[in-house]
Chains A and B, each alone.
Chain A
Amino acid sequence: MNVDMDQFLSAFLVEAQEHIEVFESTLLAVEDDPSNREQLNTIFRCAHSIKGGAATFGLPGVAGFTHHVETLLDDIRAGKIQLTTTISRLLFQCLDEIRLLLASPNGAVPELSDSAKNLVSQLQIASNYSSDEASSVQLEAASGLLEYEFLFQPKADILARGCDPFLPLLELEEVCTNYSVKADTSRVPSLEDFDPEQCYLSWKGQIATEHSANEIREIFDFVADTEDIDLFPIQQNVHTAQKEVTGNSGGSTNPSFRPDAGIIRVSSDKMDRLVNLIGELVINQSILDAVVADFTPNQMGNLIDAVASMARACRELQERVMSIRLVPLRQAFGRFPRVVHDLSNSLGKQVELTMSGEDTELDKALVEAICDPLTHLIRNSVDHGLESESERVATGKSPVGHLHVNASHEGGSVMLEVTDDGKGLDKDKILAKAIDRGLVQAGTAMTDEAIHALIFAPGFSTADAITDVSGRGVGMDIVRSTIDNLNGNVSVYSNPGQGTRVRIRLPLTMAILEGLSLSIGEEIYVLPLTAIVESIQPKKEDLVTITGDEEVVRVRGEVLPVVRLHQLFNSPSYISDPSKGLLVIVSDDERKVALLVDELIGQNQVVIKSMEANYRKVEGVAGATILGDGRVALILDVPELVRCADAAARAA
């Protein structure tokens, strides 16, 4: 029986992740209601499934460790041990360790890491197990190929229960790499005493298997009571393949061990619709074939119809395929209760976390990427934003701090908000710090938003004391840059004494862009539609040149810098006089600039191809795409164009 387990491993990792999440959320719930047996059972089942799966899929480290967790959980479930805060904290730590083990190659190594060993000893103390028993269990669960001698001596009356003693022996043969067995017929009586309804046989044998003694015992569960089956480990024999794994573990991380390994679960509903659409496409194609086969000019109408319905099916197929990549934000949100729970405990604050919009769907890659920045924002809110209990009471607030995380759709993008009702940002302190750090010139007049935005500057922190939670000043700038990389943006709103709100705007998906194509000379460029404010044909008197050669345009009283794209990209254009061309006004949510273009062509959806992956990073260009006629068009990067305009202005 040599099945390639790798293909199932990644599926198991996804499943294990789900079990961990259920474990975690249920454990949080049990803390409030320790008497709820059903929830304790749920937790136990999660641990059990993780252990079982890990053992099956060649992760003995995970299986061995989880076994200890399971033992403790079983005792809690049986009421032998009370689920105290200490124990639940220990369980949370174990959960983190399991996560770690699943994500690292260590999970495949039988030996436990120091941190895991430490937790195991704590678990053993908690469950009061004698160290003998615990270590023997560890041995079983943790090693590779084990050899056992077994003695199976079923009770004489098992036939009367409908049991077939051969079946477990056959099953045993299947799970063992080495298997030899001999029947002991010494107890079979002479014919006159023989009762055909009694079982007189017993079996003795030797096996070599990767399964633990407990798993072997489980095979005999139905036919034998514990005392009817004896299992002695003969010697520990680590299989050579197992050694290889151990040898590898020192090297770089094995990509296949990343939890979820790029797997997306798709509802069968979505798949069904895809299959339907493919069916439609095939029908469309045969219609087209038929029309083209004997085409006469008077069939033009038919051809147009066929092409139109083909286009409709294609468009729907595109939408459906994109929707496969969309997953609910619940995955990311799921970990926040735990974060808040741990943090508020360690800080001695009471925090109530509410969440809404968990079902908002977002590209899977984005959901994963946004998880860390959001967690960081939440930690910041709990640590810095929300005041201590006494402070809150003193300012007439409820002693329980409130934190709200919300997600919602807004146009083609998703808004994420983290709102707290804490003390808000201290503008004066931020400004003083910024001046101190040389980020801002003393005496500069700044709007509230500009001051708030300073917290995203690298190395910026107003925390007086650095805690282990936050305050090191690394973080907010990483939040900012992560979100920038995702083509999103982030802004802060704050009212002193009332709280802070951080808003993150993300595109729905990174692969397809709603764009406006425009031409400069012979070249075609695409602008992301979300960045465009308006397009104007400027009057000559509105165009002014200031400080030498910097061009600006006046739009309804607002003065905007003009960027000549043909100059920036050093390509010929038909129009060099802005008053004869078009100005497209784009915004990066803070500032606006006017881009000079020859002509607007039209709105279309484009598939983004990375420049970095195929060529190199080009300033002002976010990527490239292939147009309907096969030409390549560059997609403009608006925030960068705004920065270019800024730099040019400063240089001038």
Chain B
Amino acid sequence: MRQMVSFTLKGAGFQVIEGSNGQEALSRIDSAPNGKVDLIITDLNMPVMDGLSFIKQARTKSSCRFTPILMLTTESSDARKAEGKAAGATGWIVKPFQPDQLLKVISKVLPA
């Protein structure tokens, strides 16, 4: 899944920084060029630090306060969406999805 997302993003001209869990992602964001990123895409189900905790943590960072965050979820239930919104997620993509669906959702949260 991560490869697919990463591949799609690179294909669309994004520069991609990857981490295998929330903890790793947080430290990678700090070491990114300029110390910030334009967009965060995270799965919910991850080892060490899961997606929701990661989103909450990221929102406490000054560099990520207003960064759009997309969460990948298998469930499209309202409860899950509300949970994500409460944690600070900007939007979501329901798995499974096609690469062009991903890009479409990104266009919904990231100004062109």
Is the CB–CB distance between B109 and A167 below 8 Å?
A: yes
With an 8 A cutoff between CB atoms, is A221 at the interface?
yes
How many A-B pairs have beta carbons closer than 8 Å: the answer is 44
Chain B interface residue count, Cβ-Cβ cutoff 8 angstroms: 17
Is the CB–CB distance between B108 and A171 below 8 Å?
A: yes
Which residues on B sit within 8 Å (CB–CB) of A159?
66
- Which A residue's beta carbon lies closest to that of B81? A221
Which residues on B sit within 8 Å (CB–CB) of A168?
108
With an 8 A cutoff between CB atoms, is B80 at the interface?
no
Which residues on A sit within 8 Å (CB–CB) of B107?
167, 171
With an 8 A cutoff between CB atoms, is A232 at the interface?
no
Across the interface, B68 reaches (CB within 8 A) one of A164, A197, A219, A225, namely A164
Chain A interface residue count, Cβ-Cβ cutoff 8 angstroms: 15
With an 8 A cutoff between CB atoms, is B72 at the interface?
no
Is the CB–CB distance between A160 and B59 below 8 Å?
A: yes
C-alpha spacing A167/B68, complex, angstroms: 12
CB of A58 to closest CB in B, whole Å: 20
Is the CB–CB distance between B88 and A160 below 8 Å?
A: yes
C-alpha spacing A197/B66, complex, angstroms: 9
Interface mask (A153-196 → B, CB under 8 Å = 1, otherwise 0): 00000011111101110010000000000000000000000000
Q: Known contacts being A163-B109, A164-B111, A167-B109, is A222 close to B90, with CB within 8 Å?
A: yes
With an 8 A cutoff between CB atoms, is B28 at the interface?
no
Which residues on B sit within 8 Å (CB–CB) of A166?
111
CB of A163 to closest CB in B, whole Å: 5
Which residues on A sit within 8 Å (CB–CB) of B90?
161-163, 222
CB of A80 to closest CB in B, whole Å: 13
Which residues on B sit within 8 Å (CB–CB) of A163?
68, 90-91, 109
Is the CB–CB distance between B108 and A162 below 8 Å?
A: no
Which residues on B sit within 8 Å (CB–CB) of A225?
85
Q: Which of A161, A166, A171 has the most CB of B within 10 A?
A: A161
C-alpha spacing A197/B62, complex, angstroms: 13
With an 8 A cutoff between CB atoms, is B89 at the interface?
yes
C-alpha spacing A160/B67, complex, angstroms: 9
With an 8 A cutoff between CB atoms, is B44 at the interface?
no
Q: Known contacts being A161-B88, A221-B91, is A167 close to B111, with CB within 8 Å?
A: yes
Interface mask (B60-79 → A, CB under 8 Å = 1, otherwise 0): 00000111110000000000
C-alpha spacing A162/B84, complex, angstroms: 12
Which residues on A sit within 8 Å (CB–CB) of B92?
222
Which residues on B sit within 8 Å (CB–CB) of A162?
65-69, 88, 90, 109
C-alpha spacing A164/B38, complex, angstroms: 13
Across the interface, A222 reaches (CB within 8 A) one of B59, B88, B108, B111, namely B108
- Which A residue's beta carbon lies closest to that of B78? A226
C-alpha spacing A627/B109, complex, angstroms: 64
- Which A residue's beta carbon lies closest to that of B66? A162
CB of A15 to closest CB in B, whole Å: 12
C-alpha spacing A171/B111, complex, angstroms: 11
Q: Which of A159, A163, A166, A171 has the most CB of B within 10 A?
A: A163
Which residues on A sit within 8 Å (CB–CB) of B65?
160, 162, 197
- Which B residue's beta carbon lies closest to that of A155? B85
For chain A residues 117-173, which have a beta carbon within 8 Å of chain B? 159-164, 166-168, 171
- Which B residue's beta carbon lies closest to that of A219? B108
For chain A residues 219-237, which have a beta carbon within 8 Å of chain B? 219, 221-222, 225
C-alpha spacing A221/B65, complex, angstroms: 21
Which residues on A sit within 8 Å (CB–CB) of B109?
162-164, 167, 222
Which residues on B sit within 8 Å (CB–CB) of A171?
107-108
CB of A131 to closest CB in B, whole Å: 25
C-alpha spacing A222/B67, complex, angstroms: 14
C-alpha spacing A27/B66, complex, angstroms: 45
Which residues on B sit within 8 Å (CB–CB) of A222?
90-92, 108-109
- Which A residue's beta carbon lies closest to that of B91? A222
CB of A22 to closest CB in B, whole Å: 14
- Which B residue's beta carbon lies closest to that of A220? B108
CB of A214 to closest CB in B, whole Å: 14
Which residues on B sit within 8 Å (CB–CB) of A219?
108
CB of B56 to closest CB in A, whole Å: 11
Which residues on B sit within 8 Å (CB–CB) of A164?
68, 109, 111
- Which B residue's beta carbon lies closest to that of A166? B111
Is the CB–CB distance between B108 and A167 below 8 Å?
A: yes
Which residues on B sit within 8 Å (CB–CB) of A197?
65
Which residues on A sit within 8 Å (CB–CB) of B111?
164, 166-167
CB of A257 to closest CB in B, whole Å: 26
CB of A229 to closest CB in B, whole Å: 14
C-alpha spacing A78/B109, complex, angstroms: 29
- Which B residue's beta carbon lies closest to that of A168? B108
CB of A227 to closest CB in B, whole Å: 12
For chain B residues 11-58, which have a beta carbon within 8 Å of chain A? none
C-alpha spacing A163/B89, complex, angstroms: 9
CB of B82 to closest CB in A, whole Å: 8
Interface mask (A579-600 → B, CB under 8 Å = 1, otherwise 0): 0000000000000000000000
C-alpha spacing A159/B68, complex, angstroms: 9
Interface mask (A198-228 → B, CB under 8 Å = 1, otherwise 0): 0000000000000000000001011001000
CB of B97 to closest CB in A, whole Å: 11
Which residues on A sit within 8 Å (CB–CB) of B85?
161, 225
C-alpha spacing A221/B85, complex, angstroms: 11
CB of B53 to closest CB in A, whole Å: 16
C-alpha spacing A252/B67, complex, angstroms: 56
C-alpha spacing A161/B65, complex, angstroms: 8
Which residues on A sit within 8 Å (CB–CB) of B89?
161
C-alpha spacing A162/B90, complex, angstroms: 5
- Could you pull out 29 A-B pairs where Cβ atoms are within 8 angstroms? A159-B66, A160-B59, A160-B65, A160-B88, A161-B59, A161-B85, A161-B89, A162-B65, A162-B66, A162-B67, A162-B69, A162-B90, A163-B68, A163-B90, A163-B91, A163-B109, A164-B109, A164-B111, A166-B111, A167-B107, A167-B109, A171-B107, A171-B108, A197-B65, A221-B91, A222-B91, A222-B92, A222-B108, A222-B109
Q: Give 8 closest A-B pairs by Cβ, nearest first.
A: A222-B91, A162-B90, A162-B68, A161-B88, A163-B90, A161-B90, A162-B67, A162-B66
Q: Given A161-B88, A164-B111, 11 other A-B contacts at CB below 8 A?
A: A160-B88, A161-B89, A163-B68, A164-B109, A167-B108, A171-B107, A197-B65, A219-B108, A221-B91, A222-B90, A222-B91
